[in-house]
Structure 1
Amino acid sequence: MDYPILLIERLKSIYEDAGAAIAILHHGRLLHFENIGFRDLKSGLPVNDETIFPCASLTKAVVPAVVASYVEEGSFTWDTPVKDILQNFHTRDATLHQHMTPVDCLSHRAGMQSSLYWLGSDNNVLISNQNSMNFINDLQRVVPFRNGYLYNNLGYELAVHVLTKMTRTGTRAYFDGGDNVAKTYGTLDDASNVAITPMLSGDNTVGGPGSAMRSCIKDLIKLYASFLAAGKHQLATGETKTPGSPIQQVASLWSSKISMDPISFHETTYALGWARVQTPGPMGAIGLNPDLLSPKPAPYVAREQPSHLVIYHQGSMPGNLAAVNLLPATGGAIIVLTNSLALNDAADWLGQLYSEAYLGVRKRHDYVALAKETVQSALEWHPRLIDELKAGQIRDTQARKASENAGILVNEARTMMIKVFVDDQDSILKLSFQGMDNEIFPLTHYHHDTFTWLVTRNKFARRGRFTNDNAEYFKVNFLPDPKSNKIEHLTWWHNKWLPKAEMFSKEST
């Protein structure tokens, strides 16, 4: 296999000097392995094959595999309504409540809103496990049921979350108690790295089943080799079990459940915890790069080559990016773990680059050019928001006295609280999500009773937040009572799929 070493070195220079672990399997066996950079920039400690990385949404492939074991033993079927499995599932949407199944939860086809406003600064998850079901029951259906793909971490809250039989894999931060754990980094506008709090989902919070796995490349090599071996056996024999393997029902796990791109000439669909693409075709649909390239389409991987089915997934959280591409026909796998939320989805670009090398593609894409293009798009995000806000602003309106807006406001499900207060030190109006000290943002008057909490991109990066939300996400609108003219409500349109902004009602001043 021909590896484009110079191209890889150039791509590494764009990725900067955080850490990465990369492995390639062929016929289920390790073919190539390398480490890039450091697990800890300050100490200069390098990455090795047992360095634990956050895996983010690579977790999603494991959850359906565990659910499959319950299906195999007859506890329920893939088509059993969730309400018959979880008695406290009482979502407000009648269609979801009556008909949603494990397959709908795990294939992102239920049409349920995909809000990420529970993910806050310093990788805090703002909704506790104790409030998890109340949070889920309050979610709205925003696209037609089983008629469209809408990626949603929260569907995985309804699935079994169990990880076993791995020595360097867990679902809680710092679970191993050791020092061979990758520090996590955000990326500033100048492409330098800044240390941020590692991923905390899974620590008694919402979001764990879709993002909480932490693992090392050594364990993931075993995991994906097991998937490939079980898939080879079960798809050849028609059986649902493989002797000695915990991976069951692979035909169900890997089969297409919903189209991700209905206009593609080659298959691009989602299965259960895995995406599928028939090459030549676009990859990386779950990662950050397609939005950074938009409106330009994603590159078709493996042009002018015999077609291959690729089963893949990305993972991204503040502080890490990850990617895995499986090629079942050759027992191949490309695994990439990183410990930085870079200015683009570097793990995805590395995964595609190595996939084309693995397949012997002669007419390869220029991934360095694509990396530069997506970095530039990421840097244009904040100026673009400023322009959008200016375009929609009504000039020369006056704000009411800051103290009139102060109060504790909660949503209808009582899962999210926004505290609005006047800072005694600088007399500035501020908000705090869930009333937390590290969730405080200054409010800037926009027009009338609308304020923004937008700060610089670097400040968001330092706080361990994503930097890809739209302008509406950073607006809050205070609503006065028509009779008293006193502020009684606040609205926040935190998800573009919602038909309108969510209402928060004042409980106290």
Structure 2
Amino acid sequence: MTSLPHRLDGLRPKIEELMLIAGVSGVSIGVYVEGKANYYANFGYRDVKEKFPITEQTILPICSLTKFFICIALGTIEDILSDRTGMSRGTRYLGSENNMLIAHKETLKFTRYELAGLIIDKVSRLPWSQVVAGIAIRPWGMQRTYTKHSPTSTPNASKEYNVLNEGTPTEIHPVQAGAGSFGGLSGGMFSCVEDLLKAYSTIMTGVNNRGGKQSAIKQLEELISARTRRLHANCSLPGAFSAVTMLPELRVAVVVMSNAQGLEDYADWIHQLVLEEVLDASPRNDYIAAAKTSASATLQWYPKTLEALEKMKSAGNSRPLAEYVGTYWNRKRYLKIDFSLAREGKTLS
């Protein structure tokens, strides 16, 4: 029978086609199967301009996978981390250049994870970033994982990209979330495929030992049961897309990380393609066809958005810039925009 690494290598043409359809620049994949060597496969670049290749050690935003580590730090605070509190959700706090639009003092109005961070700080008397580092990052040997954007001098850190309508990646400002800023607890950590496999394999070892001596996490059996069939997440931010599945009962994990938001749900589909091969599933899904359909629908959204914006403009409704100065809130008052005038030379803009 053909070995699993050889079978996974056979997926390369399909993965490359999915990336081409999505227009993305770099993808890193890791597979953990208990008792076997970890499998890694990497495609494309972490830096498109310099042609630096992406690897399993390339540092990327892990987006909402950050929440996994916050849950580990908390143990279980179900009401706060579920949708039962009535707190709003989403990424409406991000500006056009991945900057934070919401002041730190206003965070409790917007996300339950910021409240979770305050609880961690209060109970432990330490910042949440130090708690996560002490409970998970250091004990699990995650040497390339950060609770905020890695220092600029860090080697093998990826640029971040979005995809233009012609299907080419363009570099964007990196995500500004992280320890010490709003959004850090829900999507501000950075890591690599190699480190994430260390985390997920440790979790599954602990689950299958029912929180025994080999477990690095207290109350692990209360968080995840060994009978849990599947734990899955896929998440994105401008400039990143990640997907992961853990199968505790089978002791299998698949991680896909990338450095761009593409024209379709490519990271999740690549990860499902890999998972089907690991499980030798039958029948198989046609992810290429799904990607083409999704990318086509996304490209239709671009001109529709421009058309809608044009319709919103009222002919002859232009006013002097000074009349726009002020603070504007949306109807539900979770987002505001401050307008002011900046003088450049002798011209107001």
User: TM class by shorter-chain length?
Assistant: 0.7 to 0.9
Call closer, same or farther: CA 1:135–1:415 in 2, change over 3 Å. farther
Cross-structure match for 2:266:
346
Call closer, same or farther: CA 1:389–1:168 in 2, change over 3 Å. closer
Q: For 2:249, what is the secondary structure of its paired residue?
A: helix
Separation in 2, partners of 1:401, 1:387: 22
Cross-structure match for 2:60:
53
Query: Aligned residues: percent identity?
Result: 29
Letter in 2 for 1:107: S
Cross-structure match for 1:377:
297
1:156 to 106, 110, 113: 113
1:183 aligns with 2:159: yes
1:219 to 195, 201, 204: 195
Cross-structure match for 1:105:
80
Call closer, same or farther: CA 1:323–1:425 in 2, change over 3 Å. same
Residue deviations 1:172-230 (CA, integer Å, cap 9, x gap): 21247322101111110011111112222015321000111111122111101011111
Q: For 2:338, what is the secondary structure of its paired residue?
A: strand
Normalised to the residue count of structure 1, the TM-score between the two structures is: 0.57
1:135 to 104, 107, 114: 107
Residue deviations 1:90-110 (CA, integer Å, cap 9, x gap): xxxxxxxxxxxx312212332
Separation in 2, partners of 1:372, 1:105: 38
Greater RCO between the two (CA within 8 Å, min separation 6)? 2
The question of whether the paired residues in 2 share the 8 Å contact of 1:128 and 1:204 is answered with no
Deviation, 1:395, is 7.4
Matches within 5 A, 1:249-398: 249-254=219-224, 309-386=229-306
Cross-structure match for 2:44:
37
Could you say which structure has the higher helix fraction? 2
Separation in 1, partners of 2:295, 2:83: 28
Q: For 2:254, what is the secondary structure of its paired residue?
A: strand
2:327 to 392, 409, 413: 409
Structure 1, unaligned runs of 5 or more: 69-77, 79-101, 140-153, 235-240, 256-277, 279-307, 431-509
Separation in 1, partners of 2:318, 2:103: 35
Call closer, same or farther: CA 1:366–1:122 in 2, change over 3 Å. same
Q: For 2:132, what is the secondary structure of its paired residue?
A: coil
Separation in 1, partners of 2:313, 2:340: 23
Call closer, same or farther: CA 1:394–1:158 in 2, change over 3 Å. closer
Letter in 2 for 1:110: T
Cross-structure match for 2:123:
none
The question of whether the paired residues in 1 share the 8 Å contact of 2:234 and 2:244 is answered with yes
Call closer, same or farther: CA 1:126–1:203 in 2, change over 3 Å. farther
Cross-structure match for 2:125:
none
CA RMSD of aligned residues (A): 3.1
Call closer, same or farther: CA 1:207–1:375 in 2, change over 3 Å. same
Q: For 1:230, what is the secondary structure of its paired residue?
A: helix
Normalised to the residue count of structure 2, the TM-score between the two structures is: 0.81
Could you say which structure has the higher strand fraction? 1
Deviation, 1:113, is 1.9
Higher Rg = 1
Q: For 1:352, what is the secondary structure of its paired residue?
A: helix
